[in-house]
Structure 1
Amino acid sequence: MSVFTLSQAEKEKVLLEQLSGLVEHHRERCEPYARILAANGYTGADSVADLPWLPVRLFKNLDLKSIDDDEVFKVLTSSGTTGEVSKIYLDKAAAATQTRQLAATVQTVLGPKRLPMLLVDTKAMLKDRRSFSARGAGVLGMSTFGRDHVWALDDDGHVDLDKIRAFLEKHGDEPFLIFGFTFMVWLHLYEVAIDNGLDLSNGILIHSGGWKKLIDQAVSPEEFRRRLAGVGLTRTHNFYGMVEQIGTIFLEGPPGGSLYCPDFADVVVRDPQTWAELPPGQPGLLEVVSTLPTSYPGHVLLTEDLGVVHGIDDGDWPGKHFSVLGRLPRAEARGCSDTYKEAA
């Protein structure tokens, strides 16, 4: 069942009611959040864009949770590069919901059956199952959609070509799933496929993050897709997401070029000077909203990413479709695979 079904007007109505409820839920259960609302004088919202947002960086400075300490089931950390990390607290119910909604989103392009899966990463990062980095949480979350998992990198972070070849010999004649962060897919799969004549034509790639290093190499998203098609990989879906809204991803549509908002989430583009909502076609600062964060007040977040809405109800799926343009100048570099250190 698709989670890309609601027109923008339908979504606005549903989200406003649910997110307004979450504002009150977190006000009652998270004292720092309640103080923030009191300080900005929030009394209610007439639209999603009127809802009070938190800067995503705040999770690096405050412990924000709406559950008691004994209810904490899992703690996720962000992938900042300066030593400051966000801590996201999940109880069992929130963890289950984010897993279920992530599955519903991904199955839109994968279908309901679990496919053989090639993970362009190393299993070594999953040592601590209670406390994950954003990269570890992303890999673990996506791994549930596959079977017969093969890790393309060994424990030292080196490409295991024999394992990749064995995987393709066993599964390459049927649809299979590939997951990895964008730069690692480029470095450890695309370049390896080119050098060794690997055929990836039955693969479906889901990838995210790591664009900064590719842009530094003058590899645009369009060039990335074109080059991957050269090794037979034509079904590729980028997504945008963050640990501060774990379980919510904005997924690239089938032809590429735009990210779409699932029914339980949306984006607002704001003028970084006035904070006013900007219309389609005008770039600004991305705000992300989601009904999933119930154990911490991460339901309305102002990111440090620039983006632009391309259109509303005029794409492959209903609602807004948009692109992420990069980081706000002088914002901390972050991204699950941008923090990856290449093995010596």
Structure 2
Amino acid sequence: MKFQSIQKIDFLDDLIYQEEESFKWTEEKISEVQLKLIKEAFEYHYEHCQGYRMYCKKMGIEPCDVNSIDDLCRIPLIPSTMFKLGDILSCDMNEVVKVCQSSGTQGSISKVYRDEKTLNRFLGSIQTSIDQVIEIDDAFCVNLGPSTKEAGDLWFSYAISVVDMIFPTEYFVVDGVFYPDKAYQKLNDMLDEYESLVLIGAPVMFYDLINYMEENKLSFSNSEKLYFITAGGWKRFEGKSIPRDEFIKLIQKYFIGAKTENFRDILNLVELNTIMPECECHIKHIVPWVKVIILDPVTLNPVSDGEIGLIAYLDPTTVSYPGFILTDDFGKIVINNNCQCGRSGIGLEIIRRVNKVESRGCALKIDKKYAKTN
């Protein structure tokens, strides 16, 4: 086969696993690396994913058309809804080691198939992001969700369960039941043993923990060493959702002395092979080898930094499926190489999801083009 490089890119794996200052690259280095890796990834998936190749031909774009950083915006995107409609693969099914499923909060489930290299690169990206953006050392993690084994194929639960590869971790959802009393007691038990404590989970799990503490007239002192990491949003619990500032103040009411800069949110979606962690300034940073494009929802052309549009990702780390994803999220680029935390690269703000009416008018029009090729 002509294009085998994505499976053998030592350079990419070195960046994921060994680069110590990924979030301090210059704009020139970011552009150079993105062009090299994303172009090679496009070549690979064009060759190995028949449905994607047919789609690209219908769109009139081939790998030879991508020769500059601006050309990356021409790479055909796969709407995230397509992962709900069928299997999208650039490898044989027998190479798949994990079937990753979305929570299906809008009525249907996405399935993303990861081979060993793709999954390992995701795990490496988590390590890089936490080490270089959240920057926590010598910590014990109280995970308000299930273990990796219990999470199974549900991607959100799996993604936050793998913090055990970074910190000693204990889980407090067992057989589908959350135990806030045991989580609270574990925090007390570990307070003097570690330099930092990490409390991680979906916002609703924090909310349930606070309810338990309120009902039992409990609070937690010496909270300066705690980090509060949320992930996943409120999802099926919109009735309980509260604005972020109010959420932080609520936690600080019961965790006395908790630092505002120690509240971090992490973004991930099942189709994206990395996470987006918040820095101490509450800006979500994207690893520099992934390109973010914000598109006008009507024309699907790129908009300027600071303008709101549909978020698209060009992720070169995926081997088992094309990582060129048009999401159903509205957002904007809020930082471009000048974050107050000192990190470079893109800072992203997620505004809201596309509603059903809008999806018929923007993202789904690409779905229809793609579906005709299969």
TM normalised by structure 2 equals 0.79
Task: Specify the alignment match of 1:30 in structure 2.
Answer: 49
Task: Specify the alignment match of 2:328 in structure 1.
Answer: 304
256, 259, 266: which one aligns with 1:239: 266
Larger Rg: 2
Give the CA deviation at 1:197.
1.2
Give the CA deviation at 1:139.
2.7
2:172 maps to 1:152: yes
Q: Would you say the 8 A contact 1:4–1:318 is kept in 2?
A: yes
Task: Specify the alignment match of 1:94 in structure 2.
Answer: 118
Q: 1:158 to 1:128 in 2, by over 3 A?
A: closer
Give the CA deviation at 1:118.
0.3
CA distance in 1, matches of 2:158, 2:139: 20
Q: Structure 1, residues 214-243: CA drift from partner, whole Å, max 9, x if none? A: 765562122223333332432121121111
CA distance in 2, matches of 1:221, 1:215: 13
Q: Which runs of 5+ in 2 are unaligned?
A: 1-19, 360-374
Once the two structures are superposed, the pairs formed by residues 4-43 of structure 1 within 5 Å of their partners are 4-43=23-62
Q: 1:121 to 1:212 in 2, by over 3 A?
A: closer
Q: 1:224 to 1:55 in 2, by over 3 A?
A: same
Q: Which runs of 5+ in 1 are unaligned?
A: 333-344
Once the two structures are superposed, the pairs formed by residues 159-174 of structure 1 within 5 Å of their partners are 159-161=179-181, 163-173=182-192, 174=195
Moved more, 174-183 or 194-203: 194-203
Q: 1:71 to 1:152 in 2, by over 3 A?
A: closer
2:97 maps to 1:77: no
2:162 maps to 1:141: yes
2:79 maps to 1:55: yes
Give the CA deviation at 1:19.
0.8
Q: Would you say the 8 A contact 1:8–1:320 is kept in 2?
A: no
CA RMSD of aligned residues (A): 2.4
How many percent of aligned residue pairs carry the same amino acid?
A: 21
265, 275, 281: which one aligns with 1:255: 281
Q: Structure 1, residues 177-235: CA drift from partner, whole Å, max 9, x if none? A: 221112222x2233334542133432112221224567655621222233333324321
Number of matched pairs: 323
Give the CA deviation at 1:116.
1.2
CA distance in 2, matches of 1:276, 1:32: 23
Moved more, 41-50 or 66-75: 41-50
Q: Structure 1, residues 283-334: CA drift from partner, whole Å, max 9, x if none? A: 1111122221111112x211000101123122121122121011012279xx
Task: Specify the alignment match of 1:341 in structure 2.
Answer: none
SS of the counterpart of 2:294? strand
Q: 1:156 to 1:101 in 2, by over 3 A?
A: closer
SS of the counterpart of 2:42? helix
Give the CA deviation at 1:152.
3.1
Task: Specify the alignment match of 2:347 in structure 1.
Answer: 321
170, 179, 188: which one aligns with 2:200: 179
Give the CA deviation at 1:157.
2.0
**Which has the larger strand fraction?**
1
Q: 1:252 to 1:212 in 2, by over 3 A?
A: same
CA distance in 2, matches of 1:218, 1:122: 21
Give the CA deviation at 1:13.
2.5
Give the CA deviation at 1:113.
4.6
CA distance in 2, matches of 1:289, 1:302: 9
